Amino acid sequence: MKMIKNFKLATAGILMISAAGLLTPSTASAAIATANGTMTMNLDSATMLTTFGFIPTTYFDQAQNDYYINKLTPGYATNGLGMQFQVNGNPAPTSAGIMYGTSDTRTRPIQATTFTYDTAGPVEATATGQIGFDGSIRITKPDTINWLKFDNLSMKYTGGKWVVYTNENRLATGDPDGFGTQSLFELSNVVSTTENGALKFSADLSLGNSNWANGFGLDGTLKLGTMSITPSAVPVPAAVWLFGSALLGLTGYKRRKLNTIAA
């Protein structure tokens, strides 16, 4: 009878390990992509006014994807704080690029996420590709009709630093406002970790030595704001939960049977 008892205990132990393995996320040292998270950007309007002469007034997320961003395109009013943008997948969302209030169309180069890194070491050691954000920001010069846009944002690690880019079509593609792809912010005080199998990130924003700073002759040393990336929670698939529950139920049955035999 003791032999039967020991066999039942061993079996129960195997079942418990199997169930725990199914229900607990694993951390693999493999290259992974960042997608389906949220980027939050905060821009200091007072410092933006000092540096640019412009302040953030409107931002656009995936709900406005089908609109080409101009001075009339409706979006979310903002003072620069708490602007949220989805992290794109690959391929990126498509856009009809409809000019607000007209039938004119201009393609918007919404950026895909192709970013990967190895979780076995520091993010920056193996970072490749870019992170695309589903959004744009419009800035305006107070008391004037002048405006600019930070369009179709993206970010990557290059030249030993993190850089945020704006992405617009150039004149050759039918966009009279387009500057192409230009570096906008250089990031400092970066904290990069892995959460839910994707990049969790925070940093300070300044113009640094970016194309925007050099092109407009702006002070690149001032901190203009912050940004962060928060990955989406990864739900356990229903099939895994059901299988795990079945194994746990079987474990309970084995224990009851063990108690009966032992008695």
Tell me the mean pLDDT per 10 residues along the chain, length 263: 37 29 33 69 97 95 87 94 95 83 81 90 93 94 93 96 90 59 96 86 96 93 96 56 46 49 52
User: In b/e form, how buried is each residue of 61-93, taking b as 16+ CB within 10 angstroms?
Assistant: beebbebbbbeebebeebebeebebbbbbeebb
The pLDDT value given to residue 20:
30
The tally of domains found in the chain comes to: 2
18 plus 43 within the same structural domain: no
Q: Are residue 56 and residue 135 in the same domain, yes or no?
A: yes
pLDDT of residue 178: 64
Q: Is the same domain home to 142 and 190?
A: yes
In angstroms, the CA 127 to CA 61 distance is 26
Global model pTM greater than 0.85? no
Per-residue pLDDT at 246? 47
Of residues 228, 48, 222, the one with CA closest to residue 148: 48
Q: Are residues 165 and 141 in the same domain?
A: yes
| Whether residue 205 sits in one domain with residue 135 | yes
pLDDT at 133: 95
Give residue 174's pLDDT.
Answer: 52
Domain that holds residue 13: 2-25+238-262
pLDDT at 255: 52
**Do 255 and 152 share a domain, yes or no?**
no
What's the CA gap between 107 and 169, in Å, rounded? 8
13 & 78 share domain:
no
242 and 136 co-located in one domain: no
